[in-house]
């Protein structure tokens, strides 16, 4: 199952040990790590990404689910990206992009207080014991949440209501006197723009989800190829 994982630590060194342990679990075959980052909660409430290691698929994934989650942990818009990361946070105001509930973000935020650190990762795990045992041994506080399905569609009821208002304004515009037509025309334009914006947002979300899914496939292929090459080396 694909999950978002956040492990909170008191010390930065422990957070990096946690990241190392996570990658070791992947090497052992216990989990798959799609993307990861070590973050720090600063005294002013912002969150700084300390370092990432992969400029390829990882960077793109951080710009979606994980990047959005980190943005929320920083209390929007408080996210500070280290110069070495090369990651542009962009707009991270859409909770759906994080694919976790607001309650998860709230629970993590209560533990990730100023001057604390965390490993944030998107992983695939079949059971939770391996990660829990390693992280708890390092003093980490583990939070995880299954990733929700990406919502491709906008709220149908909301769009229907907007279209109903639009139809009403257009009907009134057809019957209105000249002095009233201008005001109705302005409202019609505003509603049409709002409907279009909602549809565009749904399209962007769908395209981002497709891009993320493609990145995961490529990442898994690369990991499989690397494992095959390493296995071949050991047999020669």
Ordered DSSP codes for 129-198: HHHHHHHHHTT-EEEEEEPPPP--S--HHHHHHHHHHHHHHHHHHHH--HHHHHHHHHHHHHHHHHHHHH
Q: Do residue 111 and residue 91 come from a single domain?
A: yes
Q: Do residue 45 and residue 68 come from a single domain?
A: yes
pLDDT digits (tens, 9 = 90+) for 108-117: 999 999 999 9
> Where is pLDDT greater, at 142 or 181?
142
pLDDT > 70 fraction of the chain, expressed in percent and rounded: 79
In the block, tokens 């920083």 appear at 74
Q: Do residue 18 and residue 86 come from a single domain?
A: yes
Confidence of residue 169 (pLDDT cuts 50, 70, 90): confident
- Grouping H, G, I as helix, E, B as strand and the rest as coil, residue 47 is strand
List the domain range (segments joined by +) for residue 225. Answer: 152-236
Q: Do residue 53 and residue 90 come from a single domain?
A: yes
Q: Do residue 42 and residue 115 come from a single domain?
A: yes
Query: Of 120, 149, 178, which residue sits at a domain end?
Result: 149
- What is the arithmetic mean of pLDDT over 48-63? 56
Residue 25: closest CA among 117, 141, 137, 134: 134
Q: Do residue 119 and residue 173 come from a single domain?
A: no
Question: What confidence score (pLDDT) does residue 232 get?
Answer: 78
Q: At what angle do helices 129-137 and 12-27 cross, to 10 degrees?
A: 150
Output the six-digit token pair for 91.
């707009």
pLDDT digits (tens, 9 = 90+) for 57-87: 444 444 567 888 888 888 754 444 443 333 3
Average pLDDT, the chain: 78
Q: How far is CA 44 from CA 57, 85, 102, 221, in A?
A: 31, 21, 21, 41
Q: Do residue 222 and residue 128 come from a single domain?
A: no
Query: Of 128, 149, 170, which residue sits at a domain end?
Result: 149
Q: How far is CA 140 from CA 6, 12, 70, 73, in A?
A: 9, 11, 18, 17
Query: Of 86, 116, 149, which residue sits at a domain end?
Result: 149
Cα atoms in the Cβ-side hemisphere of radius 13 Å centred on 148: 12
* DSSP letter assigned to residue 149: P
Q: Do residue 228 and residue 171 come from a single domain?
A: yes
Q: Do residue 104 and residue 173 come from a single domain?
A: no
Residue 77: closest CA among 96, 63, 93, 95: 93
How far does Cα 235 stand from its chain's mean position?
A: 40
How far, in Å, CA of 55 to CA of 85, rounded? 8
Q: What are phi and psi of 140, to 5 degrees?
A: -85, 150
How far, in Å, CA of 168 to CA of 163, rounded? 9
Pairing of strands 117-125, 31-41: antiparallel
For residue 158, pLDDT beyond 70: no
- Grouping H, G, I as helix, E, B as strand and the rest as coil, residue 72 is helix
Q: Do residue 105 and residue 117 come from a single domain?
A: yes
């Amino acid at each position: 199952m694909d999950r978002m994982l956040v492990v909170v630590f008191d010390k930065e060194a422990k957070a990096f040990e946690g990241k190392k342990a996570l990658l070791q679990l992947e090497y052992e075959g216990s989990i798959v790590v799609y993307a990861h980052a070590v973050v720090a909660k600063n005294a002013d409430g912002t969150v700084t990404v300390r370092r990432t290691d992969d400029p390829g698929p990882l960077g793109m994934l951080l710009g979606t689910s994980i990047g959005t989650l980190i943005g929320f942990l920083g209390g929007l818009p408080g996210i500070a990206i280290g110069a070495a990361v090369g990651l542009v946070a962009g707009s991270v105001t859409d909770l759906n992009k994080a694919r976790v509930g607001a309650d998860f973000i709230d629970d993590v935020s209560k533990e990730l207080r100023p001057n604390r650190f965390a490993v944030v990762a998107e992983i695939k795990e079949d059971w939770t014991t391996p990660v829990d045992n390693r992280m708890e041994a390092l003093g980490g506080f583990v939070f995880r949440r299954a990733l929700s399905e990406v919502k491709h569609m906008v709220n149908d009821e909301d769009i229907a209501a907007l279209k109903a208002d639009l139809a009403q304004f257009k009907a009134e515009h057809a019957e209105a006197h000249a002095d009233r037509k201008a005001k109705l025309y302005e409202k019609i334009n505003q509603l049409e723009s709002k409907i279009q914006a909602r549809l565009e947002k749904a399209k962007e979300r769908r395209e981002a989800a497709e891009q993320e899914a493609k990145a995961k496939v490529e990442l898994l292929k690369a990991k499989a190829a690397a494992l095959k090459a390493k296995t071949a080396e050991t047999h020669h």
